[in-house]
Chain A
Amino acid sequence: QKEVEQDPGPLSVPEGAIVSLNCTYSNSAFQYFMWYRQYSRKGPELLMYTYSSGNKEDGRFTAQVDKSSKYISLFIRDSQPSDSATYLCAMSANLTGGGNKLTFGTGTQLKVEL
């Protein structure tokens, strides 16, 4: 079983739709949860960062963490064609020797159509 599971898509939605992207994980030690956005031919860029359970909102984006279910989500409201990209979830736990190690999902490819 992979530590982090993410549906690769592709996911195609009409402009203005609400998008829900999800990841599940198996390591209960994960405490930090991130979403990265990666445009074609670019490196990933950090979109949202949350610690432990709860919701975090930033403009049209909401990140949600449910540690009891080992499930995280990213919601995009009023989706735009410019949101078309691959969305990567990532998570980490404190290492016993200090530091952190990010574990990524495979990424979900999203296309928002006019």
Chain B
Amino acid sequence: ETGVTQTPRHLVMGMTNKKSLKCEQHLGHNAMYWYKQSAKKPLELMFVYNFKEQTENNSVPSRFSPECPNSSHLFLHLHTLQPEDSALYLCASSIGQANTEAFFGQGTRLTVV
């Protein structure tokens, strides 16, 4: 285990559903990230939080809404997703935003039907 825990591990949702992904890190890190991993594509950075403040939104559609209540927890709220949003969603953390050594969680495998 890397110290970054994601729940749920698997999620199947309809296009009209609302669901949330949760990430928790026990490493004392101050920066947290959401990445999307699709087959045959590089990891895509979605959002960056540093000391609970969002510092980057990588042109992500508004149907993905992040929330960072504190430095240890990160959520990704999902609403009216499309089938092409099906992917592995990975949470990561690092000591600070300037630190490049990111530790990843196991990911949530999302399927939109």
B106 touches A43 (CB 8 A): yes
Cα A2 to Cα B42 with chains together (Å)? 10
A-B contacts, CB under 8 A, total: 64
A18 within 8 A of B: no
User: Across the interface, which residues of B come within 8 angstroms of A101, CB to CB?
Assistant: 45, 48, 56
A4 touches B99 (CB 8 A): no
A99 within 8 A of B: yes
Contact pick for B99, options A43, A45, A100, CB 8 Å: A100
Give how many A residues have a beta carbon under 8 Å from the other chain's beta carbons. 27
Most chain A beta-carbon contacts within 10 A, residue among B99, B102, B107: B102
Interface of A is mostly: strand
Contact pick for A99, options B98, B105, B106, B107, CB 8 Å: B98
B50 within 8 A of A: yes
A46 touches B102 (CB 8 A): yes
A110 within 8 A of B: no
A35 within 8 A of B: no
A46 touches B40 (CB 8 A): no
B2 touches A4 (CB 8 A): no
Query: Which A residues from 61 to 114 make CB contacts under 8 A with B?
Result: 88, 90, 92, 94, 98-107
The 3 A-B residue pairs with the shortest CB-CB distance, nearest first, are: A43-B104, A99-B97, A104-B43
User: Could you give 18 example pairs across A and B, Cβ below 8 Å?
Assistant: A41-B106, A43-B2, A43-B106, A43-B107, A44-B43, A45-B104, A46-B103, A88-B43, A90-B43, A92-B100, A98-B97, A99-B55, A99-B97, A99-B98, A100-B97, A102-B100, A103-B42, A106-B41
